[in-house]
Structure 1
């Protein structure tokens, strides 16, 4: 494991209980996020290709009950063992495993969709192509990817200091154009993109992107 990945994992091991305390009911306060997730759920089910979805970078597992309540079968993965421990403790009805976004544990074309809720923001530019290729690999033709991200200028930022827990790690606030370009370069096609403006001068806008994995056309 490279040093930056180890730093990210160690930091989120420390942050796991704080995330569980502060983010468990976050969706209740974010109607735009619920709307995007709901659209993903409706389209994934309408694809008629099963109900299995990957919650990639699941953290403490807070999205699992929401996805399950809408008819999907979530399987969460996260880089942090402590995040997974908390997810299993707090949401024991669902499956959670430790995994790296760049090497997912799912079989090829085994999921009707993947949810990347603020998890792609940790990818350095050099890692994005491989990670997005992994997401494309595990989604069935006709399935979907949905992501939420912090919209910015794509410069690396140091985060974690505000927690006062002695941790720091890198993250990237990508522009919506960069995020969409990476997803489409991996082979997906854009279905929907949008955002919510920043609510404070030092806060980023929120970005949302929903994409589809095309069904291969039969040769003529």
Structure 2
């Protein structure tokens, strides 16, 4: 496909059931991921800005039950209609909507926090600053953004082939430094940063950033 966004959307439509099966119960075996999400939940509620959070790039909706169990009120958005269909099927207690990260369906400063769990790795260079600005737009001053990502060298990669379903898409594994710089440019301050080495079956280290929107930042 000539349009990378449409290619990404189509690929994840095809991959939706594959992801649902592959990632079922995966969070239970990921103590670092759980710890970072727990910290996000605790700090988000402690900020006193409410419990409404968005899972941006929610995929199959696998994080929604976990976030809700921490006292948050999550809703998910994803570029892929196929992913949203699976999320609604598997997690009917939560709200899911098709949406583009670059144009989120939330009012200015309406959310206590945002989760971007491996969803920012698909941003092309020209989309990165606008996407972080959009995340900053919807988060209340003092609210939080948490993201997990593949901590790499920033080079363009093609993903999707390993699923064996005949789809591919662009991905970019940015370093923690690059991610931090983009976040700072949008008005986010680092609260916590972490990483872990690649485990068996992973091709690079994993990075985690927990950020707070500066209170003086524009909504």
TM-score band, normalised by the shorter chain? over 0.9
Please give the alpha-carbon distance, in whole angstroms, between the structure 2 residues aligned to 1:142 and 1:116.
17
Task: Give the TM-score of the pair, scaled to structure 2.
Answer: 0.96
Change (3 A) 1:98 1:201: closer
The structure 1 segments of at least 4 consecutive aligned residues displaced by more than 3 Å after TM superposition are none
Deviation, 1:199, is: 2.2
Cα distance per residue 1:146-200 (max 9 Å; x no partner): 0000011000100111100000000011111001100111100000101011125
Cα distance per residue 1:85-136 (max 9 Å; x no partner): 0000000000000000000000000000000000000001110000000000
Cα distance per residue 1:44-94 (max 9 Å; x no partner): 000111100010000000000000000000010000001000000000000
Give SS of 1:68's match.
helix
Tell me what 1:166 maps to: 166
Tell me what 1:26 maps to: 26
Does residue 104 of structure 2 align to residue 70 of structure 1? no
Aligned runs of 1:1-220 on 2, under 5 Å? 3-200=3-200, 203-216=203-216
- What are structure 1's unaligned runs of at least 5 residues? none
Please give the alpha-carbon distance, in whole angstroms, between the structure 1 residues aligned to 2:104 and 2:43.
23
Change (3 A) 1:38 1:107: same
Question: Which range moves more in the overlay, 198-207 or 11-20?
Answer: 198-207
Give SS of 1:121's match.
helix
Give SS of 1:129's match.
helix
Please give the alpha-carbon distance, in whole angstroms, between the structure 1 residues aligned to 2:214 and 2:130.
19
Give SS of 1:158's match.
strand
Query: Number of matched residues?
Result: 216
